[in-house]
Amino acid sequence: MTDRSNPRRARGGLEQATALLVALAFPLSISAGCAPIPFESTSPIVIAGDPPPPPPKPKPKPKPKPKRVEIKDNKIEFKEKIQFEFNKATILPESDSLLTDIAAVIKENPHIKKISIEGHTSSEGSDKYNKKLSEKRANSVVKWLVEHGIAEEMLEHKGWGEERPLQDESTEEGKEANRRVEFLILEQDVTKKKVEIDPETGEERVVEEKTQKVAR
C-alpha cells in the first residue's frame, strides 16, 4: 500500500529508481558505440625531433700480415737481408731474429730434405775475393742453423761471388740488392693423392697416396 500521506518520500523513491535504470543503460550504450572511428584528416603527420642515427658499419677485418719467411716453389723466401760485418763473414746480432724464423720454417716443413745456402756479392772487389767472401758467409749461416737445431746433413753451402746478379749495378741500390744469401730447396718429398667422390654423400675419399722425393 502506498503511503499517500508523504508525497516527498514517494517522489524520492521514483527518482532513485530512475537513476538506477540510467546507470544500467550507460555501459550498454558505451559498449554498443565501440566501433573504430576512421581517421579522415588529409593533413600530413609531422613527427618532431631528429631521427635516430643509422647503426654503425661493421669494421673491416684487418688484412693478414705478410709472412716474414715462407716457402715458394723451390725456395725459402724472405724480404729482409741477413746482415754481416763489413767485408767479413760474421753475422750481425740484428739478424738473429730473422734466422730464428727461417729455422722455424725449416722445422715446420719436414718434407724439405736438402737445402743449399748460397752467398752472393756485388761486383766491387776482385772476382776471387768476392767468391771466397760469399762462400764464407754462406758457411756462417749453415753453422748458425746447425747450432740452433737444424740437421747438418740437410744443409750445404756455396759461394757465387758476383756471378749471379739480380740487378744492374749502376746504382748503389742495385749493388745492395746483389749482396744476399739465398735458400734453395734441392730435395723435398712430394705427396700425390688419388681422390674419389662418394656419389651419395659428395665427400672426397683418398683411394691412393704416394710420396716421392723430388730433386731441384
Q: Please give the average per-residue pLDDT across 166-170, as a whole number.
A: 94
Q: 89: how many CB neighbours lie within 10 A of its CB? A: 19
Who has greater pLDDT, 47 or 122? 122
Percent share of the chain, pLDDT over 90? 56
How does strand 112-120 pair with strand 155-159? parallel
Please report the pLDDT score of residue 154 as a whole number. Answer: 97
Please report the pLDDT score of residue 68 as a whole number. Answer: 95
Who has greater pLDDT, 2 or 190? 190
Q: Report whether 90 contacts 140 (CB < 8 A).
A: yes
Q: Report whether 90 contacts 136 (CB < 8 A).
A: no
Helix (H) or strand (E) holding 214: strand 204-215
Q: Report whether 87 contacts 134 (CB < 8 A).
A: no
pLDDT in tens, 26-77: 454 444 455 566 656 667 676 677 878 888 888 888 888 889 999 998 999 9
Those residues with Cβ within 8 angstroms of residue 185's Cβ, 6 or more apart along the chain or in another chain? 71, 74, 75, 76, 112, 114, 115, 216
d(CA 139, CA 121): 14
Please report the pLDDT score of residue 1 as a whole number. Answer: 44
Domains of the chain: 69-188 (3.30.1330.60)
Q: Please give the average per-residue pLDDT across 101-119, as a whole number.
A: 97
Q: Report whether 152 contacts 146 (CB < 8 A).
A: yes
Q: Give the residue from 137, 133, 151 showing the smallest Cα distance to 182.
A: 137
pLDDT in tens, 172-185: 999 999 999 999 99
Please report the pLDDT score of residue 2 as a whole number. Answer: 44
d(CA 133, CA 85): 11
